[in-house]
Amino acid sequence: MKKNNSARRNFIKLSVMGIGGITMAPVVAAMPNCGTRNTIINDKKLHIVCVGAHPGDPEFGCGGTMAKYSDAGHRVTFLYLTRGEASYPHKTYAEMAALRTMEAAISCKVLNATAMYAGQVDGNTVLDKNKNEEMTKMIVGLQPDIVFTQWPVDAHPDHQVTGLLPLTAWVRSERKFHLYFYEVNTGSETMAFTPTDYVDISAVRERKKEAMFAHKTQNPVETYNDYFKPLEEFRGLEAGVKAAEAFIHFKAKAERANIIGM
């Protein structure tokens, strides 16, 4: 019980600073009506867990933010639900899994992240009682301060599952960590995404590109030019910077009752 109280206190302390104060400061400072969020810079080293259905999802969706976290000395773990083994019909699952695991290792090295795999099957991910328990155990075991995962309103069923499993982990862990959703291939995959927070990634754009382009089997140049370049610039326009990544922050109950001037 004592342990829980202390975890709760830490959570409250952390929650004041928003999305890792150091990384968000430039953008939040430029946005009006942001109140006191982010004004407290905590030097605690955070553990960031970024969940993605397939190798590449965390990198494309929030590689810039993850680069900034690891540059600031925070620990970043990418938890991939699958190894993307179903992505090429002319190779076996084993061959494709080996290839994409290798690509993920290269991109994780660029971003200074650690890769982990949840053992689900690409194109056939499951959201049920067992998988919810498994994922909750896995995420809670990692003791994250912040979890990023895919926005579940998405055309790809694996992305839907990837959004909802960590949501259950968040609820079952009594909202012990911050939960943010990220977007991928917006307009084609992610839908109905209205960001609450932005991270200025202008300074790490090239690093993010390097991490994305490590996923050679995924037509990264085309995907970048068609989706992520325009998206980074559009989110940048919204945030008043050159390029940004955008997120939806699921706030804990205590934070919801917090409107400026009230």
Binding of residue 53 to Zn ion (CB under 5 A): yes
Q: Where are the alpha helices (DSSP H) in the chain?
A: 2-15, 21-30, 57-71, 93-111, 129-142, 157-172, 205-213, 220-223, 229-239, 253-256
Residue 259 burial by Cβ neighbours in a 10 Å radius (0-12, 13-18, 19+): exposed
In the complex, what is the shortest distance from the CB of residue 206 to Zn ion, in angstroms, rounded to a whole number?
Answer: 23
* Contact window for Zn ion (CB under 5 A) among 39-47, 52-60, 123-131, 228-236: 52-60
Contact 70, 110 (CB under 8 A): no
With both helix axes pointing from N to C terminus, report the angle between 57-71 and 205-213 in degrees, rounded to the nearest 10: 140
Beta carbon nearer to Zn ion, 57 or 183:
57
To the nearest whole angstrom, how small is the minimum distance from the Cβ of residue 216 to Zn ion? 16
Which one of the spans 54-62, 70-78, 103-111, 254-262 is the region binding Zn ion (CB under 5 A)? 54-62
| C-beta of 200 vs 232, nearer to Zn ion | 232
- Measured distance CA(16)–CA(155) in Å, rounded: 34
Choice from 22, 37, 50, 57 touching Zn ion (CB under 5 A): 57
Structure token digits, residue 70? 């690891």
DSSP symbol at 241: S
145 binds Zn ion (CB under 5 A): no
Which residue, 57 or 103, is less far from Zn ion as judged by CB? 57
Stretch that binds Zn ion, among 19-27, 56-64, 92-100, 203-211 (CB under 5 A): 56-64
Residues that bind Zn ion (CB under 5 A): 53-54, 57
